[in-house]
Chain A
Amino acid sequence: GAVVSQHPSWVICKSGTSVKIECRSLDFQATTMFWYRQFPKQSLMLMATSNEGSKATYEQGVEKDKFLINHASLTLSTLTVTSAHPEDSSFYICSPGGGGTDTQYFGPGTRLTVL
């Protein structure tokens, strides 16, 4: 299976600040990156899909100006939560796609707590 890393694994920030989450695909080239959000006791919800070198596509209800996604290389994608608010506190998980993987693999997740 694919090896995916995320950094940081846990971050606490003050309301109004911005947080950047990195996702790295370690053993294959991810032409696509999917970003999910998971609230406690709920399932994964797709936020956006990014393709390397182009703008991300956001799911309905996800603010593109709040959740900035950069996919500048085939091994790195970043999600920046801008002007974070307590309701943005969640578990953010990336999932690389493309590169001939047989199915979808997920990163270990980043837990964001906004005070």
Chain B
Amino acid sequence: QKEVEQDPGPLSVPEGAIVSLNCTYSNSAFQYFMWYRQYSRKGPELLMYTYSSGNKEDGRFTAQVDKSSKYISLFIRDSQPSDSATYLCAMSVVSTGNQFYFGTGTSLTVIP
């Protein structure tokens, strides 16, 4: 079993839709949860990170962590064509370091 599972998609939504991206994990020791956005042929760009359970909101993006279910989500409201990218979840026991575990990424296309 992989440490982190993420549906690779692809996911296509119309502009303005609410997008829900999810990851599940198996290691209950994970404390830090990150979402990265990766455009084609570019490095991952940090979108949001959260520590432990709860919600965190930043503009149109909301990150949600449910440690009891080992489940994290990223919601994108009022999706825009510029949101079209691959979204990677990542998690770790510590805030920085080499023990980052990544999902495979979900490819999202927002159709104008």
Binding site for B on A (CB under 8 A): 1, 4, 6, 10, 32, 34, 41-44, 46, 49, 91, 93, 97-98, 101-109, 111
A103–B46 contact, CB under 8 A?
yes
15 A–B pairs (Cβ distance < 8 Å), ordered by A: A6-B43, A34-B98, A41-B105, A43-B102, A43-B105, A91-B41, A102-B49, A103-B32, A103-B46, A103-B49, A106-B43, A106-B45, A108-B43, A109-B43, A111-B41
Give the number of residue pairs across the A-B interface with Cβ within 8 Å.
58
Taking the complex as formed, is B112 at the interface, i.e. its CB lies under 8 A from any CB of chain A?
A: no
Query: Is the contact region of chain A dominated by helix, strand, or loop, or is it mixed?
Result: loop
Known contacts A101-B96, A104-B100; can you find 10 more A-B pairs with CB under 8 A?
A: A1-B46, A4-B43, A32-B98, A42-B104, A43-B88, A44-B88, A104-B97, A106-B43, A106-B45, A109-B41
A97–B102 contact, CB under 8 A?
no
CA–CA, A91 and B43, complex, Å: 9
Which residues of chain B have C-beta atoms less than 8 A from A107's C-beta?
43
CA–CA, A1 and B44, complex, Å: 13
Binding site for A on B (CB under 8 A): 8, 32, 34, 36, 41-46, 49, 88, 90, 95-98, 100, 102-105
Question: Which A-B residue pairs are the 10 nearest by beta carbons?
Answer: A109-B43, A106-B43, A108-B43, A43-B102, A43-B104, A49-B98, A106-B44, A103-B49, A44-B102, A93-B43
A44–B44 contact, CB under 8 A?
yes
CB distance from B103 to the nearest CB of A (A): 6
